[in-house]
Chains A and B, each alone.
Chain A
């Protein structure tokens, strides 16, 4: 714990007070309509998108960037229901949380609203993926695992989150890089990191893939073997675990999350939203939230973000076709 409990508590009490003072100081930071912002989390409460949306809500209110921020959930179909709703919105002061999983979900659910139909605002954060194995696995590193895996992919069950999500995408990309047919991968989907973690701890599967937040503590305590992380740089949460690139596999995946806005908004309105997101990103509260949640800072805004989205869409589509999840 970097903060002592007392000073932390003091911060908790002081932050909103200071935020309130900043608000009273008179200068309205954002143009009028953005003082009331809505953030849609297109998933059920408690998931990654919901958590990120609520952290964003808290940071924006604490740092006085907007007075009233409301988070609401539109559940279903990997976020595609929420995306469809956003496609019909005409409110400029609305952000929808989304991420890599939605890129795949648009294809697997054959959604009529595509990501290109709404307005990209910014990519915000990413979660590093961690590939781990049960403690009694007959290998110690990712190369050893891939050797076992390549020998008999069907007899090498790999646990992860729901079908078509980041974990399965990473499994497919790694198979591809290791010369294994992605269609042969014996991927066992669980509903969320929790359940797959228990399958790992119970030694029921050969390896598992999830966010560092899910497996990291177990790797740190020695209950799981950390094999590799999916990003270009090592993760602070498990600094001893090498990256895939270090280990000789040219795969880089981040479970990134970003925000989108309604279709057909004016350039000015879009700039206002981008400015709000950048201001949020620059606040101390945001830095603290990144630290607390173990998120990587991946800010990318506007057209750069749109380009990144297009590249991810192509890459995800290709691998999902190879795995056999979509036609």
Chain B
């Protein structure tokens, strides 16, 4: 096959000692910025753009590729250990990953994330090399109505994370949808709910909300409980991946990859929706439903694979059409231009050497990340042995630093504190926080695409079911919504206590609080 010959030539170009050094620097930097919330790979590559005039293109792109994939890795480490997602696409990882860490399974969670990222990154890069032109043709046919249908499907799919009480779950979702409205309306350019604060006109950063609700909320909660009962010491001595972990991880890795790659290739797909869908599907397919909400390894393996596969997918429109669909892709494009390379539909033919070297570099970076991260997993989990007051003080410091770094704007810290206070209250009274984040991400996608579709059709609602794609996806959403209800009616009401216990965000050390809330709740 032609592509394979080209790829082999790409490897020959990329595999020199000096390039390997650049790959190493890249993955190291990438992992570091992925760990810190707020600073992402886009900013890092932008800061490093000046190196393009001292380095030859191959070395520069190898380093950038390492940063790009490394950023996706780094985000999972803090999600799992500290419940502090570094990037929006690692939010779902925090749900089960952090529960695993608290149960002493941190090393296994980190390992499945690292291997899953490697598997997904490798398969994704391979797909990029082999099927990019075909995928991009399909991706371009996706209309605004199709995106809306996908968003509806994602909403329905993630209903499983709503928690034990649907009322609280929906309230939390509504809160997220509201936060998503803050900012400038995409279609009319008018500001909504910005209360005259110019910094709010671009909306509230998802990372700030996620870090506030997850990390700050939790830190405040833990602080408030310190004097109640004995201090729990987290067990960090759990084993690396066991045979059974591996058996339970491989299918989620592959399913996550299958979801992530096509979404990444969509011009407005992104890495968040596939992580939601992956989490939802793992939760439905698992043989261990009782573990979900307490630290199920499938819930880490799937979303982590999905976000890395999406990262590879994003390069599809970039390399085949010269069309950047993420901030990092836009900067890579700027780097191409810095070398006098005109991106566009002909990039793959006119600059094939460089493109294949870049693809080879992605493979190298990905492998290097696995080599770097797998042994480190054991080192990272030792963080959890830090006594809790110091650990959570550290998390607070770290969260604030990261949020401040996004814009160097003190207002972000005020937001972090306000939303963190909200996160504490939600936690204290057993309101799940995940639906709020999901609403914040999905709400604007659904709204913008619904209104865009209707604007294009001149207000004709039938546009929403105009394509086969949207019909099928909407039908699936409908079935996903109705079938469980029908099944429950048919089977009759049974096993209610288990059902209630099976879902649920609030867990283990909060049982006392949960019991009390039960009385206040309905």
| Chain A residues packing against B (C-beta within 8 Å) | 1-3, 8-9, 12-13, 15-16, 44-47, 50-51, 54-55, 57-58, 61-62, 73-77, 80-81, 84, 108-109, 111, 154-155, 157, 162-164, 186, 188-192, 194-195, 197-199, 201-202, 204-205, 216-218, 220-221, 223, 288, 291-293, 325
Tell me the complex Cα distance, A253–B317, Å.
29
Give the interface segment out of B185-193, B217-225, B252-260, B504-512: B185-193
Chain B proximity of A127: nearest CB distance (Å): 13
Chain B residues in 8 Å Cβ range of A2? 340
Q: Given the interface contacts A163-B189, A189-B186, does A76 sit within 8 Å of B202 by beta carbon?
A: yes
Q: How far is the CB of A128 from chain B (nearest CB, A)?
A: 15
CB distance from B187 to the nearest CB of A (A): 6
Besides A198-B142, A291-B340, 13 new A-B residue pairs in contact (Cβ under 8 A), listed by A number: A9-B57, A46-B327, A47-B330, A51-B337, A54-B46, A58-B53, A109-B191, A157-B455, A186-B458, A194-B325, A204-B456, A217-B346, A221-B344
CB < 8 Å neighbour of B50 from A61, A73, A81: A61
Residues 313-347 of chain B: 1 if any A CB is under 8 Å from the residue's CB, otherwise 0? 00001000111110111110110011110111110
Question: Is A84 within 8 A of B50, CB to CB?
Answer: no
Inside 8 A of B342's CB, which chain A residues have their CB?
217, 292
> Which of A3, A45, A192, A204 is close to B43, meaning CB atoms less than 8 Å apart?
A45
Instruction: Considering the complex, give the chain A residue whose CB is closest to the CB of B406.
Output: A75
- Whether A77 touches B184, Cβ cut-off 8 Å, given contacts A58-B53, A61-B50, is yes
Known: A45-B43, A163-B189, A217-B346. A194 touches B267 (CB 8 A): yes
Please measure, in the bound complex, the distance between the C-alpha atom of A37 and the C-alpha atom of B54, giving whole angstroms: 20
**B141 interfacial contact with A, CB 8 Å:** yes
12 cross-chain CB contacts under 8 A: A1-B350, A8-B340, A45-B327, A54-B334, A188-B187, A188-B456, A190-B452, A194-B323, A198-B139, A199-B144, A202-B140, A220-B344
For the complex, give the distance between the alpha carbons of A145 and B52 in Å: 42
| CA A8 to CA B58, docked complex, whole Å | 13
Within 8 A of A (CB), among B52-67: 52-54, 56-57
Inter-chain contacts of B268 with A (CB < 8 A): 191, 195
Given A58-B50, A75-B202: A162 and B338 interface contact (C-beta under 8 Å): no
Q: Give Cα A325–Cα B184 distance, bound, in whole angstroms.
A: 12
The interface bits of chain B over 192-224 (1 if a CB of A lies within 8 angstroms of the residue's CB, else 0) are 000000110110000000000000000000000
Whether B53 lies near A16 (C-beta < 8 A) is yes
Question: B160: CB under 8 A from chain A?
Answer: no
A76 to B339, CA, bound (A): 29
Q: How far is the CA of A51 from the CA of B323 in the complex (A)?
A: 16
CB closest residue in chain B, given A204: B143
Per the 8 Å Cβ criterion, residues 145-160 of B in contact with A are none
Contact (A154, B458) CB under 8 Å given A195-B325, A198-B323, A204-B144: yes
Q: Which B residues are in CB contact (< 8 Å) with A109?
A: 191, 198, 201
Closest to A83 in B: B198
Q: Using Cβ atoms and an 8 Å threshold, which residues of chain A touch B185?
A: 163
Q: Is the CB of A1 within 8 A of B340?
A: yes
Q: A239 CA to B190 CA in the complex, in Å?
A: 37
Q: Complex formed: what's the CA distance from A61 to B452 in Å? A: 44
Instruction: Give, as a whole number of angstroms, the nearest-CB distance from A160 to chain B.
Output: 12
A194: chain B residues within 8 A (beta carbon): 267, 317, 323-325
Measured CA separation A84–B407 after assembly (Å) = 14
Which residues from B are CB-within-8-Å of A217? 322, 342-346
Interface residues of B in 401-448 (CB under 8 A from A): 407-408
Q: Which residue of A lies closest to B342 (CB)?
A: A217
Q: How far is the CA of A167 from the CA of B143 in the complex (A)?
A: 21
Q: Are A163 and B186 touching (Cβ within 8 A)? A: yes
Complex CA distance for A325 and B323, rounded to whole angstroms: 28
- Residue B234 at the chain A interface, CB threshold 8 Å: no
Q: Any chain A CB within 8 A of the CB of B42?
A: yes
Given A54-B334, A217-B345: A188 and B46 within 8 A (CB)?
A: no
A166 to B57, CA, bound (A): 33
Residues 69 to 87 of chain B near chain A (Cβ within 8 Å): none
Report the interface size class on chain B.
35 or more
4 interchain residue pairs of minimum CB distance: A217-B344, A163-B189, A46-B330, A45-B46
Q: In the bound complex, what is the Cα–Cα distance between A198 and B455 (angstroms)?
A: 17
| Cβ-defined contact, B53 with A108, below 8 A | no
B246 interface residue (CB < 8 Å to A):
no
How far does the Cβ of A71 sit from chain B's closest Cβ, in whole Å? 8
How far apart sit A54 and B57, CA to CA, in the bound complex (Å)? 17
Give the shortest distance, in Å, between A220 (CB) and chain B (any CB): 8
The residues of A that contact B199 with a CB separation of less than 8 Å are 76-77, 81
Tell me the minimal C-beta distance from B68 to chain A in angstroms: 13
Q: Which residues of B contact A12 (CB under 8 A)?
A: 52-54, 56, 339
Which chain B residue lies CB-closest to A3? B340
Asked whether, in the complex, the Cβ of B330 is within 8 Å of the Cβ of A188, the reply is: no
Q: Is B171 interfacial (CB-CB < 8 Å)?
A: no
Chain B residue contacts of A221, Cβ below 8 A: 344-346
B49 in contact (CB, < 8 A): yes
Bound Cα distance A288, B338 (Å):
10
Residues on B with beta carbons closer than 8 Å to the beta carbon of A163: 184-189
- For A323, the closest partner residue in chain B by CB is B189
The closest CB in chain A to the CB of B353 belongs to A5
B324:A46 contact, CB within 8 angstroms = yes
Q: How far apart are the CA atoms of A190 and B342 in the complex, in Å?
A: 23
A285 to B268, CA, bound (A): 35
Which B residue sits closest to A201, measured CB to CB?
A: B140
Smallest CB separation, A87 vs chain B (Å)? 12
Query: Which residue in B190, B321, B331, B339 is a CB contact (below 8 Å) of A45?
Result: B331
1/0 contact string of B441-480 vs chain A (CB within 8 Å): 0000000000010011010000000000000000000000
Contacts of B53 in A (CB 8 A): 12, 15-16, 58, 62
- Are B452 and A58 within 8 A (Cβ)? no
Q: Which residue of chain B has its CB nearest to the CB of A285? A: B53
Nearest CB in chain A: distance from B356 CB, A: 14
Residue of chain A at shortest CB distance from B407: A75
Question: Once the chains bind, are B50 and A198 in contact (CB under 8 Å)?
Answer: no
Give, as a whole number of angstroms, the nearest-CB distance from B414 to chain A.
15
Give the chain A neighbours of B337 by CB distance below 8 A.
51, 292-293
- Pairwise interchain contact B340-A77, C-beta atoms closer than 8 A: no
A123–B231 alpha-carbon span in the complex (Å): 63
In angstroms, Cα B191 to Cα A188, docked, is 17
Give the complex CA separation of A74 and B199 in angstroms. 10
| Contact (Cβ within 8 A) B267 A189 | no
What's the Cα separation between A305 and B250 when bound, in Å? 62
